[in-house]
Amino acid sequence: MPRPVDNARPGACVNVLKKVRTNGGWKLCPAVREANGRLRDRVRVNGCTEVHGEGVYYLDLSSDATLKHLSLSSHGLLPRP
């Protein structure tokens, strides 16, 4: 479920996804936040929480019936290992 963004336009939502390799190929899955709010390679695949070290994080931006996936690593928003 997308979460409202602070200081954003009304109706704007952000969802954090991670593209991970599953048995069916690469899939965008919702990232699971830790209790302290950080992301630690955990995603929800088919309703179950799994750990996936591979993959790229994306921001799923939705506003006024438009949907855009923004890759965080290609825009320099996440450090590369």
Predicted TM-score of the model (pTM) = 0.67
**Residue 46 scores a pLDDT above 80:** yes
| pLDDT, greater one: 22 or 65 | 22
Say yes or no to pLDDT of 81 above 50. no
Beta carbons within 8 Å of 44's beta carbon, 6+ residues apart:
29, 30, 32, 50
Does the pLDDT at position 20 exceed 50? Answer: yes
Q: Which two tokens stand for residue 46?
A: 């088919």
Q: What is the mean pLDDT of the chain?
A: 77
Whether 31 contacts 39, CB under 8 Å: yes
Domain map (residue ranges) of the chain: 15-57
